Structure 1
Amino acid sequence: MEHKKYKINEVAKMHNISKKTLIYYDKIGLFKPQYVDEVNNYRYYDMKELPILKQIVYLKNIGFSLMEIKNLLDNREHDLIIDALTSKDNEIVKEIEKLQETHNSIEHLLNFYKKTKYLDKKDLYKPAVKIFTKRKIFYLRCEEEGSWEEIMLTYRRVLRHLQELNLFSHKEYGTIYLKEGIESGFKRNVGSFISISDKYDIKDETILQEGKYICMYKDGGYYNEDAVKYLLNWIKENGYEVISDIYEYCMIDYTFTKSIEDMISEIQIRVR
């Protein structure tokens, strides 16, 4: 039975592709017309060939290269296409996971920035009790004596360490004052930290236990020993006992201000 022949523009329109694409498919041997008029060079396609083109369009749409498609069509084996589709599906699942992680990071930053935009000078140096669930951080101690420049450099070391582990966190970061410095002085007992996701297991990570924390917003840069001592004194005067290191979370940094004096952090100290 003779099937109707379709011109190249008709086939292109049916499949929402261009004539130029069909000509290229012909050139590389991927999808050839059944007949080419020797006089006018018109290409004609048989109806029975159209399902093949539909398959090409579909496979290309889900991410297969033209050479991969040609290999599948040349061999037409169940196992070959099942393996190819399984491999492609695994790639897509990994991409979805990566996109989901990016989405979660953006959501976290959005919520964080929406919260911090309401902070101002009236909120500073007013200690308050907050309850936190368990959290994770990774920190490194400063190699030199504590200063805001050294804290910034140490934070870069923290980021570099995570990148070497093929990890990157968009979560909160800040300064850590080690508890041992309460008596001996913080100059050699400070460092930088970054919060990390619970799903990561990193050697030398630190768990911030759930419980009651005395918190206080402060202005200034990444390192302010006077503000820490002010809060420690308030804690002592109000009958609390310090049972953790001291964490200073940066809330408003150079993303929103060019002045160190206008930066705002929140000091958090676990107590009982």
Structure 2
Amino acid sequence: MEHKNYKINEVAKMHNMSKKALIYYDKIGIFKPKYVDEKNNYRYYDIKEFPVLKQIIYLKEIGFSLEEIKNLLEHRDHDVIINALTHRNNEIFKEIQRYQDMHNSIDYLLKFYKTAKYFDKRDLYKPSIKIFEQRKIFYLKCEEEGNREEVMLTYRRVLKRLRELDLFSHQEYGTIYLQEGIESGFKHNVGAFISTPENFHIKEETILPEGKYICMYKTGGYYDEESVKYLLKWISENGYEVISDIYEYCLIDYTFTKSVEEMVSELQIRVK
């Protein structure tokens, strides 16, 4: 039984595509009409080939190039298509992970900026207790004697190291005062850090254990030894013992102000 032959405009309409696309598919040999009328140059298609067109549309929709699709159609083999789909599926999974990371970064930034929005001077220099779950940071120690500029430069080294690993974190960052500096002074025991997401796996990263932290908002920029000493004194006077490095998480930086005196950060020290 002879099937009806369908004109190009009919095929385009029923597949929700343009005649221009079908003409191009014919030109590159990926989907050709059954025959072309020599008198009027009309293209006519056999309904039995429609499943092939559906496959082209689907493969294009999930990210295959026309060249890749043509190759698959020329080698109609189960193993070839299985391997191709497996490879594409893995690529899509990586894309999903990338967009999930972007979503998490945006979600973090929204929370971060909302915290900064509602902060005011009444919140300064008032130590309080916070309970944190386990977190991760990546830090580098200052190469030169610690000061505000050196900490800022060290933070750039931190970002550079992440980029070398093809990583980037939008999460909290700040100054780290190493525990050994509590007695000997922080000039040579200070650095910069950035928080890292769970899916980052960096050999040099540091785990911040869950537990009780004494926290305090303060002003004064990236390196402020006086505020650190003030909080350490409060901790000692109230019977706590320091059991961690000291982390100064930046809250309001040069993004929001040009004045160091108006910059705000939160000191966090794990205690028992």
Tell me how far apart the structure 1 counterparts of residues 160 and 41 of structure 2 sit (CA, whole Å): 61
Query: RMSD of the alignment, in Å?
Result: 1.5
Q: Which residue of 1 aligns with 2:271?
A: 271
Number of equivalenced pairs: 272
Compared CA separation, residues 90 and 198, structure 1 to 2 (3 A): closer
Counterparts of 1:181-196 in structure 2 under 5 Å?
181-196=181-196
Q: Which stretches in structure 1 are left out of the alignment for 5+ residues? A: none
Q: Which residue of 2 aligns with 1:145?
A: 145
Tell me how far apart the structure 2 counterparts of residues 114 and 4 of structure 1 sit (CA, whole Å): 64
Per-residue CA deviations over 1:75-105 (Å, capped at 9, x if unaligned) read 2112211221121111111211222122122
Per-residue CA deviations over 1:186-221 (Å, capped at 9, x if unaligned) read 111110011122343322322222222111100121
Counterparts of 1:1-272 in structure 2 under 5 Å?
1-272=1-272
Query: Please, which moves more after superposition, 242-251 or 178-187?
Result: 178-187
Moved runs in structure 1, 4+ residues, more than 6 A? none
Per-residue CA deviations over 1:102-141 (Å, capped at 9, x if unaligned) read 2122222222222232111111111111122222211111
1:166 shift after superposition = 2.3
Code of the residue aligned with 2:102 in structure 1: it is T
Code of the residue aligned with 1:262 in structure 2: it is E
1:259 shift after superposition = 2.5
Code of the residue aligned with 1:151 in structure 2: it is V
Compared CA separation, residues 84 and 251, structure 1 to 2 (3 A): same
Code of the residue aligned with 2:242 in structure 1: it is V
Tell me how far apart the structure 2 counterparts of residues 217 and 250 of structure 1 sit (CA, whole Å): 10
Tell me how far apart the structure 1 counterparts of residues 85 and 242 of structure 2 sit (CA, whole Å): 58
Tell me how far apart the structure 1 counterparts of residues 142 and 7 of structure 2 sit (CA, whole Å): 73
SS of equivalent residue, structure 1 residue 117: helix
Code of the residue aligned with 1:197 in structure 2: it is P
1:247 shift after superposition = 0.8
SS of equivalent residue, structure 2 residue 186: coil
Code of the residue aligned with 2:68 in structure 1: it is E
Normalising by the residue count of structure 2, what TM-score does the alignment of the two structures yield?
A: 0.94
Tell me how far apart the structure 1 counterparts of residues 21 and 142 of structure 2 sit (CA, whole Å): 60
1:224 shift after superposition = 0.9
Normalising by the residue count of structure 1, what TM-score does the alignment of the two structures yield?
A: 0.94
